[in-house]
Structure 1
Amino acid sequence: MPASLSPTRKRIVDAATKLFYAEGIGRVSVDGVAEKAGLTKRTLYYHFKSKDDLIAAYLDARDQPNLKQMAGWFDAAEGGADSKVEAIFSNLARVARHPKWKGCGFLRTAAELASMPGHPAIKIGARHKTNFETWLAAELSERGIAEPQILAREIVLLMDGAFSIMLIHRNADYIEAAGHAAATLVRARNRNDK
């Protein structure tokens, strides 16, 4: 979330984040967000011209914190690139086991807005996924992993596939399995081991 965000705007985005993530964007009204923020609907509309703008702000506010969290898990893990990548998945599995976990907010929002490909939130979600993929490719490249861009994309596919199946089964074992597969892919491309 930008540092220049006014306190009122931040309060609105924080309220929207809690409600949209917990209930989904379609089930939450602007009135509900205003009430949760302790403001009038008029004040909300002073800061956001539409619910669509508020949805976009909700996802935009999640972008950097999510990327920073995954980078932190990667950096904190001991071992080679394979262990570091697997640590992201292991930590996601731990988070997914929390009763309040509702899945990837970016994917859930994209699913709700599937019929609106030009929606600003879809663009923000695409940017988030691209930012993660680009960051991961750079980390893999630094560690001497072959084809880092292709590998990063494969890892994103494993991650988002696991997120999707976990929404159906509510079983974090899927993301751990995806983490093992990702680590195997990293080891297969590790030029330092050859």
Structure 2
Amino acid sequence: MEREEAEKRVLDAAEELFYGQGIRAVGMDAIRSASAVPLKRLYQLFPSKDCLVEAYLRRRDARWLGDLAQYVETSSESPAQRILAVFDWLFRWFGEPDFRGCGFINSFGELGATSPAVADIAKAHKQSFRQYVADLVAAAEAPSWLADHLVLLAEGAMTTAAIHGSPEPARQAKDAARTLLQTARAATDIPA
């Protein structure tokens, strides 16, 4: 088995198990079984569970932000509509059968106090998301304060959707985002 294939299989298994069951609940033997990669090979690729957790989170970060950006860019034409499309994407994500909330909030809750690396990756992910939203706000020529408000709406929707098992918080957050956009438009004459 080639290194890239083995690494992909291990990371796929780690993502499914860590996200689905929690990082602490899943041992390396479960990753070995789910990936069908021998334990010796697994440890050659990831010398410790900490290394595997960090790789899982980094890959999840890139995939999550990439999927969001692709959806937003292809689903909306105007800059203001792109902002609202973030919440449409969240609605789709929240409706997936394996949705368990934000993997970064979950990992920070589990390990943030004991793993500076996990805490740093979670914080970097949240900062990247905030920057993405800030870029959308800037493209819409909206006031910069709007980005922080929109991010709080999205983050709150993520947590609420996970707790209640419903995608509806994304729609509610979108309604609130629309109101914020209208307020910003009225204050600064933003194009619709």
Identity within the alignment, %: 30
Q: Output one character per residue of 1:103-149: Cα deviation in whole Å (capped at 9) or x when no partner.
A: 2111111111143251x1221121111112112212221221112xx
Q: Which residue of 2 aligns with 1:181?
A: 176
* Structure 1: distance between partners of 2:143 and 2:20: 40
SS of aligned partner of 1:179? helix
* Structure 1: distance between partners of 2:175 and 2:15: 31
Structure 1 residue 46 displacement after superposition: 1.3
Q: Which residue of 1 aligns with 2:141?
A: 144
Structure-to-structure mapping, 1:14-93, within 5 angstroms = 14-78=12-76, 80-93=78-91
Runs of 4+ off more than 6 Å: none
Gaps of 5+ in 1: none
Compute the RMSD of aligned alpha carbons.
2.0
> Which letter does structure 2 place at the counterpart of 1:178?
A
TM-score normalised to the size of structure 1? 0.86
SS of aligned partner of 1:102? coil
Structure 1 residue 161 displacement after superposition: 1.1
Q: Which residue of 1 aligns with 2:103?
A: 105
User: 154, 159, 164: which is aligned to 2:154?
Assistant: 159
Q: Is the 8 A contact 1:30 1:51 kept in 2?
A: yes
Q: Is the 8 A contact 1:75 1:84 kept in 2?
A: yes
TM-score normalised to the size of structure 2? 0.87
> Which letter does structure 1 place at the counterpart of 2:130?
E
* Structure 1: distance between partners of 2:83 and 2:71: 9
